[in-house]
Amino acid sequence: MFEKVKVDENEYVRVPRDELFRVVKDVFMAMNVPEEDAEIVAENLVMADLRGVESHGVQRLKRYVDGIKAGGVKINPNIKVVKESPVYAVLDGDEALGQVVAYRAMRMAIEKAKKNGIGIVGVKNSNHYGIAGYYAYKMAKEGLVGMSLTTSRPLVAPTGAMEKFVGTNPIALGAPVEGEEPFLLDMATSVVPSGKIEVYRRKDKPVPEGWGISTENGEIITDPHVILSPKGTILPLGGLGELHGGHKGYGLGVLVDILSGVLMGATWSRHVGGTSDKHSDVGHFFMAIDPGAFGDAEEFKKNMKKMKEELHNAKKHPNFERIWVHGEKGHLTAQTRLEIGIPIYRKVFNEINEIAKEVGVEPLKE
Amino acid sequence: MFEKVKVDENEYVRVPRDELFRVVKDVFMAMNVPEEDAEIVAENLVMADLRGVESHGVQRLKRYVDGIKAGGVKINPNIKVVKESPVYAVLDGDEALGQVVAYRAMRMAIEKAKKNGIGIVGVKNSNHYGIAGYYAYKMAKEGLVGMSLTTSRPLVAPTGAMEKFVGTNPIALGAPVEGEEPFLLDMATSVVPSGKIEVYRRKDKPVPEGWGISTENGEIITDPHVILSPKGTILPLGGLGELHGGHKGYGLGVLVDILSGVLMGATWSRHVGGTSDKHSDVGHFFMAIDPGAFGDAEEFKKNMKKMKEELHNAKKHPNFERIWVHGEKGHLTAQTRLEIGIPIYRKVFNEINEIAKEVGVEPLKE
């Protein structure tokens, strides 16, 4: 959510936010997903595109549809609460659409936090849940500090290894700010998310050195096609080895595997499957904390605002236009896109319309 | 805790662990710190040295003693529980030795987690609490997943800035492993902890490019003297700018400021003081989670062991001797040092003995 978003208008078609939401929701409904669930998934995917995280947006629609078709994703899952107390719970997602069970878990965390100060709710047997920040943002909008973690399929080499092993396992944290949009950190624990490398692959351009290595000899490689193939792997945040802290990014990836995978009875790292696998067993971790339980809720929001202002006014580096605080770029991007439409890559636009026609839904208009 | 520990025997004096513990404890007791508290601080500082994190070990004794002398640290603090529920609490540390109030908060988190599945306990008005990993390790030894965060004095430039602004704000996570020492991640959210740069400064050697920048023009600098002076600043994990994820390290630093600072009613980033400041107002965050509440505790430990084994057996990179899992290097270092003694830098050794003599405590023998 932090990268500068540059759009080449020739490559994209601008689609109004509500129209994009409509088509995605209708596609899921046409596949017999209940309306309420279809809305959650559509909101989640469209929010990613709205905020400039297209890798997690509607370009994934085909994978979701394929997952449902292949039977790896259940549209009428029997979601069960397997553990519960006033402050925590674990849900068995029964291979639901990740967003559907994740949304329910997040709502439970919110309710528990509002009643009892804290809510930690985990999920096992889930699928890809979209952007981690979606849930952290929602919790922050409810006045809570919200954390959202998820396991994901193996794409990153642990320090000392040269194999796709740990997921890009994101960490998201949202917090309310007085009179402003929430603080929102949403980061892969890899040096870059795979979606960033996919952009280079699409443009057939080499990625910067330090993003990926060969799985054959461990050397730094810059060909995005190879990094995303079995012959390459992404590096953890901090890069290769320990010199610039690669062991920290690797450790954060394992932290996410422990909290959202092992702790919740879900699997971890290389065992996590993709959307179209028969049993991906993705795990999630949601934590909501009420600042009003730990102190004064208004004071918290005021201090968050003060902290943001101070960061903005830190001594600026001459090579940067300004000091951004997490969540701001995504919000500004969303504001613009709500006005002028969301740029959808033409190939994705066509793909969505093919799916729409296939399931008998009104396609997007250009 | 992850770096390879190399010891030049000429520069150091080997001291048996128990002897080092004895002198540190006795110094604090001679300064009228109650015995129980003196033991906690001594155990914490000596654990750092034992595990190879000398920057957070007994070399800080002088700063602690100076803090007590200057009145910035109270030896008989009136620690108050300002908020409490069965699953959370906030303590006002009344400017206690950080370890003393942190230990109490950690014990409360452990008890709450054992009774109710989760315990989150925060602290405000505290001081430097030593290594974050000490608390995470203790929680893991009790069979819990333990997280330990703390604010710290400003040393790191946010992305886009060139100023010491955010702390090196560590994140530590411990988790029990069947039949083995706990998993233990303990990392500064900066590219390196300041202690690592202090080692280069002592040896008068340039640090690798990418650790620090000038606060005058923002350029990458390698002189450890300058980086640690007001003319330089450390970079966040991920380095300068966003290309290799510097905004993520910066975001993690802010995450720690939010959870252990703002949420707990403590201050944050540039307002956090050092040990000898009149009012440093350091904040801590401890979270203990009982895996037995979320699932099966034995299963959790088994799966942690399995995960570790799998990581060890990942496809090895030819440039690395092995794949380490977090906590292993520190534990191996501790095992060796328990046998042959802890190497204490000669200057630190002499400093400790000067303090010992000053307060009337039996000094270390060479």
ipTM of the complex: 0.96
Q: Is residue A126 part of a domain?
A: yes
Which residues of A are less than 8 Å from B241 in CB distance?
319-320
Kindly state the average pLDDT of the residues B278-305: 96
Which residues of B are less than 8 Å from A187 in CB distance?
245, 247-248, 251-252
pLDDT (tens digit per residue) in B175-232: 999 999 999 999 999 999 998 999 899 889 999 999 999 999 999 999 999 999 999 9
DSSP sequence for A272-298? ---TTSS---EEEEEEEE-HHHHS-HH
Give bridge partners of residue A184 from the DSSP assignment. Answer: A174
pLDDT, residue A357, reads 97
SS3 A90: strand
Q: Which stretches of chain B are assigned E, i.e. beta strand?
A: 12-15, 80-84, 88-92, 118-126, 145-150, 171-177, 180-187, 212-214, 220-221, 232-234, 282-289, 342-345
pLDDT, residue B366, reads 86
B275 has pLDDT over 80: no
Confidence at A1, pLDDT banded by 50, 70, 90: very low
pLDDT (tens digit per residue) in A184-232: 999 999 999 998 999 899 889 999 999 999 999 999 999 999 999 999 9
pLDDT, residue A202, reads 86
**Contact partners, residue A282, CB within 8 Å, separation at least 6:** A98, A123, A126, A127, A128, A129, A150, A151, A152, A266, A272, A273
Kindly state the average pLDDT of the residues B316-334: 97
pLDDT, residue B1, reads 39
Q: Is residue A36 part of a domain?
A: yes
Q: Report the DSSP pairing between strands B180-187 and B171-177.
A: antiparallel
Task: For chain B, give the number of residues.
Answer: 366
pLDDT, residue A5, reads 53
A6 has pLDDT over 70: no
pLDDT, residue A80, reads 98
B5 has pLDDT over 90: no
Q: With contact defined as beta carbons under 8 Å apart, do A144 and A160 qualify?
A: no
Q: Give the distance from residue A22's alpha carbon to the nearest chain B alpha carbon, in angstroms.
A: 33
Q: Is residue A54 part of a domain?
A: yes
Residue A280 in tokens: 């991906």
Q: Is residue A44 part of a domain?
A: yes
Q: Is residue A2 part of a domain?
A: no
pLDDT, residue B279, reads 80
Q: Is residue B364 part of a domain?
A: no
A279 has pLDDT over 90: no
pLDDT (tens digit per residue) in A299-328: 999 999 999 999 999 999 999 999 999 999
Report d(CA B220, CA B235) in Å as an integer: 10
Write down the mean pLDDT value for chain A: 95
Range of the structural domain that residue B206 is part of = 12-314+318-359
Q: Is the Cβ pair B165, A314 closer than 8 Å?
A: yes
pLDDT, residue A2, reads 45
Q: Is the pTM of this model over 0.90?
A: yes
Q: Is residue B4 part of a domain?
A: no
Confidence at B276, pLDDT banded by 50, 70, 90: low
Q: Is the Cβ pair B192, A252 closer than 8 Å?
A: no
Residue B127 in tokens: 């001081």
B72 has pLDDT over 90: no
For residue A249, the chain B residue with the least C-alpha distance is B237
Report d(CA A193, CA A176) in Å as an integer: 26
**Contact partners, residue B17, CB within 8 Å, separation at least 6:** B46, B50, B337, B338, B341, B342
pLDDT (tens digit per residue) in B130-139: 999 999 999 9
Q: Is the Cβ pair A237, B247 closer than 8 Å?
A: no
Using alpha carbons only, give the angle B206, B207, B211 rounded to the nearest 5 degrees: 145
Domain count for chain B, please give it: 1
Write down the mean pLDDT value for chain B: 95
pLDDT, residue B9, reads 66
Q: Is residue B2 part of a domain?
A: no
| CA-based end-to-end distance of chain A | 27
A278 has pLDDT over 80: no
The CATH number given to whatever domain includes residue A289 is 3.30.1370.60
Q: Give the distance from residue B360's alpha carbon to the nearest chain A alpha carbon, in angstroms.
A: 43
Q: Which stretches of chain A are assigned E, i.e. beta strand?
A: 12-15, 80-84, 88-92, 118-126, 145-150, 171-177, 180-187, 212-214, 220-221, 232-234, 282-289, 342-345
pLDDT (tens digit per residue) in A72-117: 899 999 999 999 999 999 999 999 999 999 999 999 999 999 999 9
pLDDT (tens digit per residue) in B155-176: 999 999 999 999 999 999 999 9
Give bridge partners of residue A174 from the DSSP assignment. Answer: A146, A184
CB pairs under 8 A between A and B: 262
Rounded percentage of chain B residues whose pLDDT exceeds 90: 91
Give bridge partners of residue A190 from the DSSP assignment. Answer: A236
Beta sheet of A118-126, edge-to-edge order: A80-84, A88-92, A118-126, A282-289, A145-150, A171-177, A180-187
Q: Give the distance from residue B243's alpha carbon to the nearest chain A alpha carbon, in angstroms.
A: 8
Which residues of A are less than 8 Å from B324 in CB distance?
159-160, 247
> How far is CA B129 from each of CA A339, B68, B93, B283, B284, rounded to the nearest angstrom?
49, 14, 11, 9, 8
Residue B180 in tokens: 């083995």
